[in-house]
Each structure stands twice: as structure tokens, then as C-alpha cells.
């Protein structure tokens, strides 16, 4: 089994109401990345990505731009120990 990594991202800007969560879910499922994504009460979107280093990095990069209509101003990225989560969900 290949190495797994986990990243938590918090995306700031105009990122709610632009299908950011669903677009993130589709990208994650397409790449076999596990985790979750949710809207926060402060207007940010938070997500956890867990999978191969290359696939997780692709999702982190996607978060830096988001879907069409998003205006990403800042992305916080934190490395965390993998927890072995499976599947990807919108919370």
C-alpha cells in the first residue's frame, strides 16, 4: 500500500454559494481521495483530504482556485496524521 497523507484546508474568500463543496467532492472522488468538506459559519470552506501525496496535493491546489464563480483570497493548509478515513462526504 502506498503512503497516505492528510491535509486540512480552510479556504477564505467568496467560496460559499458557488458549488465549492460539491465541486470539491467530485474532484476528490475522481482522484480516490477520502475526507470531507463543509461550510463554516465565518463564510469559509473547510476540508480534509486523505490519500496519496500526489492526489492530495492536487486537491489542495484545486482549493486555491475552486470552481468557476469562486473568489479565493487565502488558503490555510495544515498537515495532520492520516486517520484511515474512507469515502468523501459533504457535511
Instruction: Report DSSP letters for 50-89, one per residue.
Output: EE-HHHHHHHHHHHTT-STT-EEEEEEEEEE------SEE
Per-residue pLDDT of the chain (91 residues; tens, 9 = 90+): 469 999 999 999 999 999 999 999 999 999 999 999 999 999 999 999 999 999 999 999 999 999 999 999 999 999 999 999 999 999 9
* Residue 21 annotated as catalytic: yes
What range defines the domain where residue 53 resides? 5-90
- Report the DSSP beta bridge partners of residue 46: 10, 38
The one catalytic residue in 25, 39, 40, 73 is 39
Q: Is 39 a catalytic residue?
A: yes
Is residue 91 a contact partner of residue 36, using CB atoms and an 8 Å limit? yes
Q: Which of 4, 7, 21, 25 is catalytic?
A: 21
Q: Residue 22 maps to which CATH number?
A: 3.30.70.100
How many structural domains comprise the chain?
A: 1
Prediction pTM value: 0.94
Amino acid at each position: 500500500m502506498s503512503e497516505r497523507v492528510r491535509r486540512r484546508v480552510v479556504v477564505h474568500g467568496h467560496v460559499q454559494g458557488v458549488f465549492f463543496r460539491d465541486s470539491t467532492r467530485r474532484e476528490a472522488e475522481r482522484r480516490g481521495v477520502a475526507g470531507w468538506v463543509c461550510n463554516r459559519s465565518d463564510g469559509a470552506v473547510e476540508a480534509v483530504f486523505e490519500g496519496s501525496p500526489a492526489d492530495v496535493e492536487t486537491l489542495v491546489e484545486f482549493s486555491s482556485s475552486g470552481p468557476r464563480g469562486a473568489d479565493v483570497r487565502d488558503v490555510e493548509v495544515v498537515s495532520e496524521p492520516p486517520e484511515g478515513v474512507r469515502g468523501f462526504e459533504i457535511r
